[in-house]
């Protein structure tokens, strides 16, 4: 029996349903249709064109878009994802009042940063890394007072850093690296008391490092490298006691390293190389117990190496080369058990190499070259089992090269220009990874160990200016550089043409009949000395008679050509400078940009080397204009070849006429008395070989991209074979010669360079590739 106060179940359910429906209808009207503000935001996205003509009902579902519960955009994150070219000026930033994060790194951005971006008052993260942004940083950046992270590195921004940046007092990370910013470091940066990372390297900033940097006590990373900052390092730098990384290299800093640097007890990385710092290394540097890498090279530092450096027990890299340091190497060096790299070459160090160095078993590279060190190489050197590079050249080391088991990993061994005597130890034959062996200008005697010609990786061999005897080994012809001159060696050149005697790379001059004071056999001849001596005298007399008028005529002709060339060169240089284009091949002779390239690569320092081939090493360089290029510095110097300059220029000019989207662009070349190099477009992803070598990287290249790569190579080869006059046959195509850009597009490289380097090929077809092999049946004749 039902109570009179109780409603029937059906009636109760109907009432409850009605209440719920009413709640949905009357309490949540905002969800019935989009709010006016979200419609404005959706329209801003559509008008920008960044997502094409999207037709999604909800703009919050677009890739890279995140909205809050009210449907308002709070984050745009298009890092690495889009292939559509974007322009910041196409977005109506005032329509995005709630935007907190804007991440558009490597997103094909172009144009400038608009002033309207200052309307994003709630923005906390702004990252525009690795784009093509131009122009100046807008003053309105100072309106983004909630900003915590600001990273606009790796673009093409110019002009000064705006002083309004000092209003961003919440900023913890500021990164403007790799741009073309100029002017001094602005005073406003001193207001950024919460800053933990300040990165403004690789720009063109000038002036002194301001002392207010010392007020940024929360800094853990300070990168001011690659600018034109001058004057001395302020002592206030010692106030940055939280600092872990200090990079001030490649500037124009002078004066002494302040002793206050010893206060940075948490410092891990210290790089001050390539400046003009002088004075002694402060002993307080020994307080940096956490230091792992210290590079003070390429300065004007003098005085002894302080023994306090040996307190840095975590140090793995110690670079002090190219200074004026004197005194001896402190024996306390034995404390640096973690040391892997020690570069102290090109100083004035004297005394003996302390035996303690040979006990540093983690050493990989030890360079003490170009000093005044003496003593003998101890047999304890065999303890350095991880050693890959040893350079003790240009010292006063005496005694013999020890007959020990050399470190099996060694690749570079240079003991030249010392006082070493005795034979070359046969144990060197066991170094299967050896690539460079320099023993020249010593007093070595005996025979060349026969096993050296079987070392599979050996490319450089210099045994000149010794007292070696015996026969020349036959297989040295495969080396890239070899010099056996000024010895007592006998026998014919191993498969080397007489022309090769003119080049240092295959230098056999004066090792037999070329130097009669040392031996009696012949160079490139089977005729004996007795039969040829009379002929030689007559030839010398005839040569003097004939050569005098010829030399006189050549001198007059050369002077006339010099005057004409100088006038023409001034006109060409003026045109090139006026156009602002150093890559104008017809006018470009390498001298306009030579200083910039030398500075950009630190005189072709190994740090900028990204690869080595059969005839050259490749370097990456960023020019003052911001353009990144690849430089192929040729190993082979042709200074003694009379026709080389003309042939080289004609060949380069011809190759620059090659125009195909899948062939690496040759920009130009440089001829200089110190070096010679080619200038190519830089390919970000390197060779196809490297991209496929590791499983992780290979997985990035899908089958569609692989088909595109094959298709691009085929089109390039077809162009070379059928559309070039004369045709160009590559003959050395491999995955190492296929380069990839940032979009994994393929480009054929290294064609035609054999023709550049060697002028003995046929004039009918340009044969490309590595010198040293031509397929059987070819009509081409090369000398080996």
DSSP secondary structure string for all residues of 414-439? E--SSEEEEPPPGGGGG-TT--EEE-
pLDDT of residue 505 exceeding 70, the answer is no
pLDDT of residue 258 exceeding 90, the answer is yes
Mention every residue, 6+ apart, whose C-beta is less than 8 A from residue 613: 632, 736, 750, 770
Spatial CA neighbour of 590 closest among 669, 651, 674: 669
Does residue 744 share a domain with residue 624?
A: yes
**Pick from 525, 547, 564: which residue ends a domain?**
525
Residue of higher predicted confidence among 561 and 639: 561
What would the pLDDT profile of 283-331 be if each residue is shown by its tens digit?
999 999 999 999 999 999 999 999 999 999 999 999 999 999 999 999 9
**Pick from 509, 525, 541: which residue ends a domain?**
525
Residue 470 lies in a domain: yes
Does residue 606 share a domain with residue 518?
A: no
Q: Which of 396-405, 538-547, 631-640 has the lowest mean pLDDT?
A: 538-547
DSSP 184: P
pLDDT of residue 538 exceeding 50, the answer is no
- Integer Cα distance of 663 and 717 in angstroms: 9
- How does residue 388 score in pLDDT terms, banded at 50, 70 and 90? very high
Stated as kind and residue range, the H or E segment containing 561 is helix 529-579
Does residue 494 share a domain with residue 606?
A: no
pLDDT of residue 159 exceeding 50, the answer is yes
Residues 319, 298: contact at Cβ < 8 Å? Answer: no
What is the per-residue pLDDT for 617? 77
Does residue 599 share a domain with residue 506?
A: no
Residue of higher predicted confidence among 765 and 66: 66
pLDDT of residue 422 exceeding 60, the answer is yes
Does residue 739 share a domain with residue 603?
A: yes
pLDDT of residue 352 exceeding 60, the answer is yes
What is the per-residue pLDDT for 690? 78
- Length of the chain measured in residues: 784
Does residue 606 share a domain with residue 519?
A: no
- How does residue 552 score in pLDDT terms, banded at 50, 70 and 90? low
What is the per-residue pLDDT for 613? 59
Spatial CA neighbour of 319 closest among 354, 367, 287: 367
Does residue 615 share a domain with residue 469?
A: no
What is the per-residue pLDDT for 770? 35
Mention every residue, 6+ apart, whose C-beta is less than 8 A from residue 597: 621, 623, 631, 670, 677
- Structure tokens, 329: 């190497």
- Structure tokens, 289: 């117990």
pLDDT of residue 394 exceeding 60, the answer is yes
Per-residue CA distances from 315 to 43, 326, 336 (Å) = 57, 22, 7
Spatial CA neighbour of 712 closest among 663, 673, 670, 784: 663
Number of domains in the chain: 3
Residue of higher predicted confidence among 57 and 459: 459
Strand partners, 398: 376, 419
What is the per-residue pLDDT for 624? 77
> Could you confirm whether 732 is annotated as catalytic?
yes
What is the per-residue pLDDT for 425? 95
Residue 554 lies in a domain: no
What is the per-residue pLDDT for 722? 75
Residue 342 lies in a domain: no
User: HSE on the CB side for 555, CA within 13 Å?
Assistant: 6
Residues 701, 722: contact at Cβ < 8 Å? Answer: no
Per-residue CA distances from 103 to 44, 72, 128, 198, 531 (Å) = 17, 17, 6, 19, 83
pLDDT of residue 252 exceeding 60, the answer is yes
pLDDT of residue 23 exceeding 70, the answer is no
Q: Is 632 annotated among the ligand-binding residues?
A: yes
Does residue 55 share a domain with residue 202?
A: yes
pLDDT of residue 465 exceeding 70, the answer is yes
Residue 733 lies in a domain: yes
What is the per-residue pLDDT for 428? 93
Residue 220 lies in a domain: no
- Structure tokens, 197: 């990372």
Max CA pair span of the chain: 147
> What percentage of residues in the chain have a pLDDT greater than 70?
70
pLDDT of residue 66 exceeding 80, the answer is yes
Q: Which of 125, 414, 732, 750 is catalytic?
A: 732
Q: Which of 66-70, 476-480, 569-573 has the lowest mean pLDDT?
A: 569-573
What is the per-residue pLDDT for 106? 85
CATH code where residue 763 lies: 1.10.510.10
What is the per-residue pLDDT for 227? 96
**Pick from 208, 223, 255: which residue ends a domain?**
208
Residues 483, 464: contact at Cβ < 8 Å? Answer: yes
CATH code where residue 462 lies: 3.80.10.10
What would the pLDDT profile of 206-233 be if each residue is shown by its tens digit?
999 999 999 999 999 999 999 999 999 9
Mean pLDDT, residues 260-287: 97
- How does residue 575 score in pLDDT terms, banded at 50, 70 and 90? very low
Mean pLDDT, residues 40-45: 85
What would the pLDDT profile of 129-149 be if each residue is shown by its tens digit?
989 999 999 999 999 999 999
Mean pLDDT, residues 755-777: 37
- Structure tokens, 331: 């024996």
What would the pLDDT profile of 598-654 be if each residue is shown by its tens digit?
778 887 776 777 776 555 678 888 877 777 888 877 654 444 444 455 445 555 655
pLDDT of residue 586 exceeding 50, the answer is no
What is the per-residue pLDDT for 579? 33
Q: Which of 73-77, 317-321, 366-370, 536-540 has the lowest mean pLDDT?
A: 536-540
Residues 429, 451: contact at Cβ < 8 Å? Answer: yes
What is the per-residue pLDDT for 527? 28
Does residue 494 share a domain with residue 407?
A: yes
Residue 304 lies in a domain: no
User: What 3 state SS string does 479-506 have?
Assistant: CCEEECCCCEEECCCCCCCHHHHHCCCE
Residue 777 lies in a domain: no
Residue labelled with tokens 């060949």: 651
Residues 770, 655: contact at Cβ < 8 Å? Answer: no
Does residue 668 share a domain with residue 760?
A: yes
Residue labelled with tokens 């009669």: 516
Mention every residue, 6+ apart, whose C-beta is less than 8 A from residue 757: 615, 634, 636, 638, 771
Does residue 484 share a domain with residue 603?
A: no
What is the per-residue pLDDT for 108? 84
What is the per-residue pLDDT for 476? 61
Alpha helices (H) in 107-209, listed in sequence order:
none
- Integer Cα distance of 779 and 775 in angstroms: 10
- Domain that residue 491 falls in: 353-368+378-392+400-525
Residue 657 lies in a domain: yes
pLDDT of residue 501 exceeding 60, the answer is no
Predicted structure pTM score = 0.64
Does residue 458 share a domain with residue 364?
A: yes
pLDDT of residue 584 exceeding 80, the answer is no
């Amino acid at each position: 029996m039902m109570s009179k106060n109780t409603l029937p179940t059906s009636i109760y359910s109907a009432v409850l349903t009605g209440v719920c429906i009413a709640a949905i209808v009357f309490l949540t009207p905002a969800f019935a249709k989009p709010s006016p503000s979200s419609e404005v935001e959706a329209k801003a996205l559509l008008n920008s064109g960044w997502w094409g003509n999207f037709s999604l009902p909800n703009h919050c579902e677009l890739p890279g878009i995140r909205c809050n519960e009210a449907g308002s955009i709070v984050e745009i994150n298009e890092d690495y994802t889009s292939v559509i070219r974007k322009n910041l000026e196409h977005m109506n930033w005032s329509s995005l009042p709630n935007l907190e994060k804007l991440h558009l790194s490597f997103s094909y951005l172009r144009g400038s940063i608009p002033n309207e971006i200052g309307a994003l008052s709630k923005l906390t993260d702004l990252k525009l890394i690795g784009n093509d942004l131009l122009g100046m940083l807008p003053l309105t950046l100072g309106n983004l007072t909630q900003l915590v992270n600001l990273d606009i590195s790796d673009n093409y921004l110019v002009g000064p850093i705006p002083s309004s940046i000092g209003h961003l007092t919440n900023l913890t990370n500021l990164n403007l690296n790799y741009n073309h910013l100029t002017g001094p470091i602005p005073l406003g940066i001193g207001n950024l008391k919460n800053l933990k990372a300040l990165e403004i390297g690789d720009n063109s900033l000038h002036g002194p490092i301001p002392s207010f940097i010392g007020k940024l006590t929360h800094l853990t990373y300070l990168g001011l490298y690659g600018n034109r900052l001058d004057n001395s390092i302020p002592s206030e730098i010692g106030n940055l006691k939280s600092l872990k990384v200090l990079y001030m290299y490649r500037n124009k800093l002078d004066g002494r390293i302040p002793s206050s640097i010893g206060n940075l007890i948490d410092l891990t990385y210290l790089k001050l190389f390539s400046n003009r710092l002088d004075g002694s290394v402060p002993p307080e540097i020994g307080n940096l117990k956490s230091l792992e890498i210290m590079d003070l090279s390429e300065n004007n530092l003098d005085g002894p190496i302080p023994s306090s450096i040996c307190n840095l027990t975590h140090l793995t890299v110690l670079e002090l080369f190219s200074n004026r340091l004197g005194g001896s190497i402190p024996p306390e060096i034995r404390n640096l058990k973690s040391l892997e790299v020690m570069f102290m070459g090109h100083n004035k160090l004297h005394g003996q190499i302390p035996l303690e160095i040979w006990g540093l078993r983690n050493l990989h590279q030890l360079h003490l070259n170009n000093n005044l060190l003496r003593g003998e190489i101890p047999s304890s050197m065999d303890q350095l089992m991880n050693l890959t590079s040893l350079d003790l050249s240009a010292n006063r080391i005496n005694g013999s090269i020890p007959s020990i088991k050399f470190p099996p990993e060694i690749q570079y061994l240079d003991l030249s220009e010392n006082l070493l005597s005795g034979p070359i130890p046969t144990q060197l034959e066991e170094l299967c990874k050896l690539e460079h062996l320099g023993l020249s200008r010593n007093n070595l005697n005996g025979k060349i160990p026969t096993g050296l010609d079987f070392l599979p990786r050996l490319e450089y061999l210099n045994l000149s200016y010794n007292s070696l005897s015996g026969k020349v080994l036959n297989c040295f012809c495969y080396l890239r550089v070899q010099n056996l001159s000024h010895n007592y060696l006998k026998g014919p050149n191993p498969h080397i043409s007489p022309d090769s005697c003119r080049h240092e790379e295959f230098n056999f001059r004066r090792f037999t009949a070329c130097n009669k004071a040392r031996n009696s056999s012949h160079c490139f001849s089977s005729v004996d000395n007795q039969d040829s001596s009379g002929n030689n005298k007559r030839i010398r007399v005839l040569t003097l008679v004939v050569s005098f008028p010829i030399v006189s005529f050549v001198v007059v002709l050369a002077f006339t050509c010099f005057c004409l060339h100088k006038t023409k060169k001034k006109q060409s240089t003026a045109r090139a400078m006026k156009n602002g284009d150093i890559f104008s091949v017809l006018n470009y002779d390498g001298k306009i940009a030579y200083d910039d390239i030398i500075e950009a690569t630190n005189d072709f320092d190994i740090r900028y080397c990204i690869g080595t081939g059969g005839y050259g090493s490749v370097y990456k360089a960023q020019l003052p204009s911001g353009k990144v290029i690849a430089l192929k510095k040729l190993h082979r110097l042709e200074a003694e070849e009379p026709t080389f300059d003309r042939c080289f220029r004609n060949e380069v000019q011809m190759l620059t006429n090659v125009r195909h989207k899948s062939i690496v662009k040759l920009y130009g070349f440089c001829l200089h008395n110190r070096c010679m190099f080619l200038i190519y477009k830089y390919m970000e992803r390197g060779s196809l070989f490297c991209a496929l070598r590791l499983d992780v990287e290979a997985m990035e290249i899908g089958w569609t991209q692989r088909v595109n790569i094959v298709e691009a190579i085929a089109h390039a080869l077809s162009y070379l074979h059928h559309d070039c006059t004369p045709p160009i046959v590559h003959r050395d195509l491999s995955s190492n010669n296929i380069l990839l850009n940032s979009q994994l597009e393929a480009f054929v490289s290294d064609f035609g360079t054999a023709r550049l380097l060697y002028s003995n090929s046929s004039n009918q077809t340009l044969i490309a590739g590595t010198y040293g092999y031509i397929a059987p049946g070819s009509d081409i004749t090369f000398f080996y």
